[in-house]
Chains A and B, each alone.
Chain A
Amino acid sequence: MSSIDFSWLIGGPQGSGVESGANVFSKVCAGLGYQIFGKREFHSNIKGDHSYFTVRVSDKLIHSNVNDVNLMISFDAETIFRHYDEVMSGGGIIYDSDLEKITTDSVRTLDNYFKERLHQELESKNKPFTIEGILEVAKEKGVNLYPVSFKSILASLAEDTENPRLKGMVRMFNVIGVSLSLGLIKMPSDSLLQSIDSIFSKKPQIAEINKQAANYSYNYAASKFTNFSFTLPGIQKQSDTILVQGHQGTSLGKMVSGCRFQSYYPITPASDESVFLESNEILEVHDDRPGSTIVIQTEDEISAIGMMIGSALTGTRSSTSTSGPGFALMAEAIGWSGMNEVPIVLTVYQRSGPSTGLPTRHGQDDLLFAVAGSFGDFPKIVYASGDIEESFYDTGNCFNYSDVYQVPVIHMMDKFLSSSVVTCKRFDPQKITINRGKLLDKIEGEYKRFAFTDDGISPRSRLGLDNGIFWNTGDESDEFGHITEDPQMRIKMMDKRMSKLDLILKQVPENEQIVSYGVYDYTIISWGSTKGPILDALEMLKKEGIDIGFIQIKLLHPFPEEIVKSILKNVKTVIDIEANHSGQLGKIFKQNVTREIDYFILKYSGRGMTSTEIYDSLKKIIENKANKREVLDHGS
């Protein structure tokens, strides 16, 4: 049996249930044993603007989306206008037949830039600017069309169930759409009903109505449309698989790592993590009374970091979660924490900058800011996770680094990760260890918080500990923590703090600093969420007999220059892949490894990379047809 690789797209106005529709679909597919990679795209808007969700389903491990969509379900016109060309030949579009006459001009949320491009396309094909026109283009390409009048479905359902209220329940369009899709691909229907039950578990009446609609729609599509070539039968289910949302890796990682204080200010795409932590604020603890995480919504990000530091000073593992604009406000206090050797973890879910940028869209724009974004020289760690599963375990490492080296740790995540929904192996909390470094439980005799030691790290007291009195200051200080301007003490203190950077490179295990997926003549360097689409693209190339190497750099500051240098020693061509404009990792690489990047593959449209477009660019590079700077633009 050839492997199954199926991409499904659902779109609609924000607030119309696109996300819950996608959740039902993902749960059903995952429940049948499939691997899922789903990703949500949405506008900075509460209600009405276009949002969509792509779910890729496969029987093998997948890490990304591809360009081609096999089946699209739309219950509004905009989804068809925006995504018709992503559906591949042989694929299908299920659409609301009541929309056929709708013109581009009547869809107010279609912006002029997009409309202009669409009109040019339709004009060139001599089609009217309507849904009908668009669908003709799709049909000519070989796309199967499945018109369904959603209103008639509701009307028949109302009649069948003698419940006239159902007639007007347009809110159920999402469930109808999902069910039509599942009927079309002949997915077993019982799992559909189960997942509706689990999603509406708190509202049994709503669940009942939705199940009726689901059943009806499923049967409608299954009996009426029989020419669709894709089917998804049930397959062998892995017993230890979970379906996780992007923010759950770091939030569950925080719980297990013993983070007991999180302060935050609301910002997309970071707040979901804090809300999840607060929703689970009371924690079960093995052989002990319950623990808890205190989650505080502060007045701004400056307060968030201040509170986190205050809490960390008591010996509590403490963190915050933010995105670019909030991260920028924290810059001054990050330096304070570095100076006073306070362990804190900042989880940064990057989005497109600068300024407000594309507030709900993806970007990896903040690497250089994370590395250099606070005045003065002080040690810190910048660490990046490549996927959601990794982020769970990395969170454990980040807390250990911060405790052991007594430095702020900036854990780089991004919007690509936060709005993904994926299947992965059930997280194993036993694989996280807790190392508090030189944190003291007991102190006797004279205590100096910043005592000079052989390794530059001083035993650490905590506010409220008996006999552990210390002082902190943002001024330069002596060993007690009192202000000093003595030039010799200044030199010694700077050297003490900065020496930690070498220690970190020496002590952090190499496989936590970088991950090598093979080294060949052509080798990619990258960081963060590009990992998924890169791995999938490399898999595609491998099938064609092409081997390309990939080094995922996780520890970005201090930069593991010796390791990277030696790994790439025999590499002929270095390719840097990043979701930003300037190739920020490339700059750090050039500075540290003193070598030029040969090719950049960059994307800054605000949309995540697909494996297809990385594959295409790598192909061009190998065929010597690429520009030094390949810029990707897939996705609407």
Chain B
Amino acid sequence: MALKLSDYKTTVHNDWCPGCGDFGIVNALQMALAEMGIERDKATIFSGIGCSGKTSHFINTYGIHTLHGRVLTFAQGGKLANPEMTVLAVGGDGDGLGIGAGHFVAAGRRNIDMTYIIFDNGVYGLTKGQASPTLRLGEKTKSLPSPNTNYNVNPIGLAVASGFTFVARAYSYDVRHLKDLIVQAVKHKGLSFLDVLQPCPTYNDLNTRDWYAGEDLAKESLERHSRIYKLEDTHFDPVVHYADEKELDEKLAQALIKSLEWGNKIPTGIFYKNETISPFTTRLTDKIPNYLENPPAKQNISKDGIPTTDISKILDSLKV
């Protein structure tokens, strides 16, 4: 029986603030799962801590709401043990790029076949609006006592540098585009990263829905004034086709340069996509040939309570 969008929704009360950008992301996630027809019990949403951490409770698949900063670690463990499962990890920008930044970098190096979505709003919402790692130097959102004294992390640049093989950005109020990117990210063979820009209507009074829509720019121009534009509408080609060094350098460089574009024009879409880098599965099957047919979660370890693992050869080697 084909699954409907409503099948992916739970009845759990959603306590996000009215107008929160998180709604667009959770809707897009449900739409993407429905569009791909992923069985509900073959997908797990892992989430971090904070408002975005509650996402897993609103989606009717397996949902694991983990610890602050640690979502990628749980998600990778789950995917490695049961590689059949579709795994999505979600969390805030503070979660993934502050406390969890080490895991972000390490996950990139592994390139495990799963998707990581960062809800990027520039503030720590649930603790009342402190500056997050993506808030820009000198900016003062409304609950900060004084302007931000730290330079911002560049999530796209960091992902590209860390080895993520699919790196994209979306805007939470463009739900269809976000949904399309989630679908592409999930289908990507390797670790995909989506940086989703989203207003926090309560604590980020700078990067608001109106700001993204370019309301302040409207006076200067009567034409389209939204800050958000799509890379696919330009001549930008993010895909590494040949894996020769020159092409690779160019694609990495253009992704990094593009990621720095901010202000009146903010690019969304795919910045970088490289399927010539081996996913972690390949690295494992190179040394454990039957890993995919007989992964940890599927292995029989006992028969009637008696272990079936045979260590007699190792014990023989220890014989005196």
Write the residues of chain A forming the contact surface with B, with a CB cutoff of 8 angstroms. 27, 30-31, 237, 241-244, 248, 252, 255-258, 260-261, 263, 280-294, 296, 298-300, 302-318, 332-333, 336, 396, 423, 426-427, 429-430, 432-436, 462-475, 481-483
Place the interface of chain B in its size category: 35 or more
Question: Is there an interface contact between A313 and B307, defined as CB atoms closer than 8 Å?
Answer: no
Residues of chain B within 8 A of A481, CB atoms compared: 63
How many angstroms from the CA of A177 to the CA of B65 in the assembled complex? Answer: 59
Given known pairs A291-B309, A433-B305, A472-B65, the reply for A423 and B320 (CB within 8 Å) is yes
- Residue ID in chain B nearest A307 by CB atoms: B77
Question: Is there an interface contact between B310 and A242, defined as CB atoms closer than 8 Å?
Answer: no
Write the residues of chain B forming the contact surface with A, with a CB cutoff of 8 angstroms. 10, 12, 40-42, 44, 46, 49, 54, 56-57, 60-67, 69-70, 72-82, 84-85, 102-103, 105-106, 284, 287-288, 290-291, 293-294, 296-297, 299-303, 305-315, 318-320
Residues of chain A within 8 A of B67, CB atoms compared: 306, 332-333, 336, 474
- Residue ID in chain A nearest B45 by CB atoms: A471
Question: Is there an interface contact between B77 and A282, defined as CB atoms closer than 8 Å?
Answer: no
Residues of chain B within 8 A of A318, CB atoms compared: 77, 81, 296
Residues of chain B within 8 A of A465, CB atoms compared: 41
By Cβ-Cβ distance, the 9 closest A-B pairs, closest first, are A306-B73, A258-B301, A310-B77, A307-B77, A299-B106, A260-B296, A30-B320, A434-B302, A311-B81
Residues of chain B within 8 A of A302, CB atoms compared: 69-70, 73, 103
Given known pairs A294-B284, A299-B103, A483-B57, the reply for A260 and B77 (CB within 8 Å) is no
Given known pairs A298-B106, A306-B67, A311-B78, the reply for A292 and B318 (CB within 8 Å) is no
How many angstroms from the CA of A285 to the CA of B61 in the assembled complex? Answer: 33
- Residue ID in chain B nearest A28 by CB atoms: B320
| Distance in Å: Cβ of B233 to nearest Cβ of chain A | 38
Question: Is there an interface contact between B288 and A288, defined as CB atoms closer than 8 Å?
Answer: no
Given known pairs A284-B309, A306-B73, the reply for A482 and B296 (CB within 8 Å) is no
Extra A-B contacts (4), CB below 8 Å, given A242-B315, A426-B319: A283-B310, A294-B296, A311-B297, A316-B81
Q: B288 is contacted by which of A281, A332, A423 (Cβ under 8 Å)?
A: A281
Given known pairs A426-B319, A429-B311, A464-B42, the reply for A471 and B65 (CB within 8 Å) is yes
Residues of chain A within 8 A of B79, CB atoms compared: 310
Given known pairs A284-B309, A463-B44, the reply for A307 and B80 (CB within 8 Å) is yes
How many angstroms from the CA of A377 to the CA of B77 in the assembled complex? Answer: 26
Residues of chain B within 8 A of A248, CB atoms compared: 318
Residues of chain A within 8 A of B76, CB atoms compared: 306-307, 310
Given known pairs A242-B319, A292-B290, the reply for A307 and B308 (CB within 8 Å) is no
- Residue ID in chain A nearest B15 by CB atoms: A483
Question: Is there an interface contact between A313 and B78, defined as CB atoms closer than 8 Å?
Answer: yes
How many angstroms from the CA of A294 to the CA of B288 in the assembled complex? Answer: 9
Q: A290 is contacted by which of B60, B105, B290 (Cβ under 8 Å)?
A: B290
Residues of chain A within 8 A of B290, CB atoms compared: 289-290, 292
Q: B41 is contacted by which of A255, A427, A468 (Cβ under 8 Å)?
A: A468
Residues of chain B within 8 A of A31, CB atoms compared: 320
Given known pairs A248-B318, A288-B300, A291-B299, the reply for A258 and B81 (CB within 8 Å) is no
Q: List 12 A-B contacts (CB under 8 A).
A: A258-B307, A283-B311, A284-B313, A292-B288, A305-B73, A307-B74, A310-B81, A423-B320, A427-B315, A463-B44, A463-B85, A464-B297
Q: A472 is contacted by which of B42, B63, B69, B309 (Cβ under 8 Å)?
A: B63
- Residue ID in chain A nearest B307 by CB atoms: A256
Residues of chain B within 8 A of A257, CB atoms compared: 301, 307
| Distance in Å: Cβ of A31 to nearest Cβ of chain B | 5
Residues of chain B within 8 A of A293, CB atoms compared: 296
Given known pairs A292-B291, A482-B57, the reply for A310 and B73 (CB within 8 Å) is yes
How many angstroms from the CA of A432 to the CA of B41 in the assembled complex? Answer: 33
Question: Is there an interface contact between A463 and B78, defined as CB atoms closer than 8 Å?
Answer: yes
Given known pairs A314-B296, A473-B65, the reply for A430 and B81 (CB within 8 Å) is no
How many angstroms from the CA of A190 to the CA of B59 in the assembled complex? Answer: 70
How many angstroms from the CA of A299 to the CA of B72 in the assembled complex? Answer: 12
Question: Is there an interface contact between A299 and B105, defined as CB atoms closer than 8 Å?
Answer: yes
Question: Is there an interface contact between B308 and A260, defined as CB atoms closer than 8 Å?
Answer: no
Residues of chain B within 8 A of A30, CB atoms compared: 320
Question: Is there an interface contact between A252 and B302, defined as CB atoms closer than 8 Å?
Answer: no
